[in-house]
Amino acid sequence: MLKSFSLTGLIAAPHTPFHEDGSLNLDMVPLQADHLVSQGVQGVFVAGTTGESQSMALEERLALVEAWSRAIKARLALVVHVGSNSNGDASYLAKHARDCGAQAIAACSPSFFKPLGPDILVEFHKPIADAVPGLPFYHYHIPSFTGSNGQIGAFLRSASEKIPNLAGVKFSHTDLADLLDCMTLEGGKFDILFGCDEMLLGALALGIKGAVGSTYNIAPKIYQDMIEAFNRGDLAQARALQLRSVRLVQLMNEFGGLAGGKALMGQLGIECGPVRAPLVPLAREQVQALREKFLLQKPLASFENGKAPAVVQSR
């Protein structure tokens, strides 16, 4: 049985940096790591949705995790997403993540042949978790991408005795009733990480202590200040900060979501390159328009003295 394990605070889901030709640009990873350390986040969730893992070859995912393992130098918790439509590949990735020093792994539901119920999802995940006994395992619940929209409380009930190293769930869904069910099962046995940045305040009200998100790469101080405001009972300030998060997410979505996020990382001086097909990269004029709107929006309590950098001219 896994000893109690939890991740708290903000866990950034970093973008995977690519060159303009689409090849891996691992030279950017140390810059990403240094940036996140300087911004006070607690860890990284590598090769998830933001990391475009499902558009990467197995060898690229291995190389990416190795680069992060070298770059963080024990300064950040390393959580590796190993999910795949093949639980054989996922098991191989899990063993590699363990060997690279990951503190935990996560796997999403397969998205081509989908599990028809929680018991089947447990059977799919079990060989992955069993490949790394003792290493905390999280189910990554993101039905908007996997299409598997079952109640995760039911999954946890089924998995509780079958997956000894089950730590909890990365819960990237808006079903707060299911979220609360997961959080209170077996006296709060499971560690539940919330994955919807623009709804974090609602999750805090339910008792969430840890969160994984893409905008924690860009403006984590919005959320750090929001958590502080919530903890001292200043709900008006907490709501105002959550609204800044909502506007940031809306802006990114206006420019393609992940593509917009990568363009904003370039605004911070960390060029993560284009997104991979079938996602659509931004044209230079779109990048410039996004960055100008970003500065006008002023979401950035994340920069020293409240000053955002000048707009970086796209190349």
Over residues 215-221, the mean pLDDT reads 96
140 is catalytic: yes
**pLDDT reported for residue 312:** 32
Query: Residue 77: which H helix or E strand, with range?
Result: strand 77-81
Task: With cut-offs at 50, 70 and 90, classify the pLDDT of residue 140.
Answer: very high
Confidence of residue 313 (pLDDT cuts 50, 70, 90): very low
Which pLDDT does position 37 carry in this prediction? 97
The reply to whether 302 falls in a domain is: no
Average pLDDT rounded to a whole number, residues 144-149: 88
101: left (phi over 0), alpha (psi -120 to 50) or beta: left
**Is the Cβ–Cβ distance between 259 and 281 less than 8 Å?**
yes
What is the average pLDDT across 106-126?
Answer: 95
* Domain span holding position 180: 9-232
Active-site entry in 92, 138, 140, 223: 140
Mean pLDDT of 172-188: 96
Query: Is 80 exceeded by the pLDDT of residue 30?
Result: yes
The confidence band for 310, taking pLDDT boundaries of 50, 70 and 90, is very low
Other beta carbons less than 10 A from residue 123's beta carbon: 14
Q: Residues with Cβ < 8 Å from 42, sequence gap 6 or more?
A: 7, 8, 9, 10, 11, 76, 77, 210
> What does the alpha-carbon distance between residue 164 and residue 136 come to, in Å, rounded to a whole number?
9
DSSP 52: T
Tokens of 101: 């020093």
291 assigned to some structural domain: no
Copy the structure tokens of residue 290.
């996004």
At 6, the pLDDT band (50, 70, 90 cuts) reads: confident
Matching residue, tokens 């990114």: 252
Mean pLDDT score, 130-136: 97
Read off the DSSP letter of residue 63. H
Residue 297: inside a domain: no
Q: In the chain, how many domains are there?
A: 1
Q: Residue 180 pLDDT > 80, yes or no?
A: yes
Asked if residue 205 is part of any domain, the answer here is yes
Stretch 140-159: mean pLDDT: 92
- Separation of alpha carbons 225 and 188, rounded Å: 26
Q: What would the two tokens of residue 260 be?
A: 């917009």
What's the confidence (pLDDT) of residue 148? Answer: 86
Kindly state the percentage of the chain with pLDDT values over 90.
Answer: 88
The CATH number that applies at residue 171 is 3.20.20.70
Provide, rounded to the nearest whole percent, the portion of the chain with pLDDT above 70. 93
Is residue 109 domain-resident? yes
pTM given for the model: 0.92
Task: Classify residue 193: in a domain, yes or no.
Answer: yes
Q: Which residues pair with 138 in a beta bridge?
A: 106, 168
Closest CA to 195 of 5, 31, 7, 3: 7
What is the model's pLDDT at position 259? 97
C-alpha span between 315 and 309 (Å, rounded): 17
Confidence (pLDDT) at 5: 80
In a domain, 274, yes or no: no
Residue 121 lies in a domain: yes
Confidence of residue 167 (pLDDT cuts 50, 70, 90): very high
Of 95, 126, 138, 170, which one is the catalytic site residue? 170
pLDDT surpasses 50 at 306:
no
8 Å CB contact between 287 and 263: yes
Q: Please give the helix or strand (H or E) that residue 169 lies within, else none.
A: strand 166-171
